[in-house]
Amino acid sequence: MFRSVYYLQPAGGDYGPLIDYYTSRGVLERVAAEPGCVGAELQIPVSGEGPALVTALWDSLGAYRRWIDDPWRIENAQYLKGIVEEDPTETAPAPTYQLIHGAGAPQATPAQ
């Protein structure tokens, strides 16, 4: 299993437009429907300061790579302009971590 991790700094510290983007466009639902995606989440800091965190759990790096190359994903990056401080048209993969050991949900087996 692998987890992709994006940190997105909302423009002006306003999480509302970022949350609206993810909910109104169904981004996480689209990710979760990808073959090989176990689930995806948008998280904002409790403190109300700092970057939002977007993660997804994948059963393989190949599944994640298919998502990175998905034309819908690439096209929708433009809607983040002005919502986040980063360049939203950057389509490079997020840092990805290999699951080595875990407990609790989701029940996953480490990648070999």
Question: Domain spanning 2-86 has what CATH number?
Answer: 3.30.70.100
Tell me: the pLDDT tens digits for 2-46?
Answer: 999 999 999 999 999 999 999 999 999 999 999 999 999 999 999
User: E-assigned strands of the chain?
Assistant: 2-8, 37-43, 52-58, 96-98
Buried b (16+ CB within 10 A) or exposed e, 12-28: eeebebbeebbeeeebb
pTM: 0.85
State pLDDT tens for residues 47-103.
999 999 999 999 999 999 999 999 998 888 888 888 999 877 665 678 898 988 888
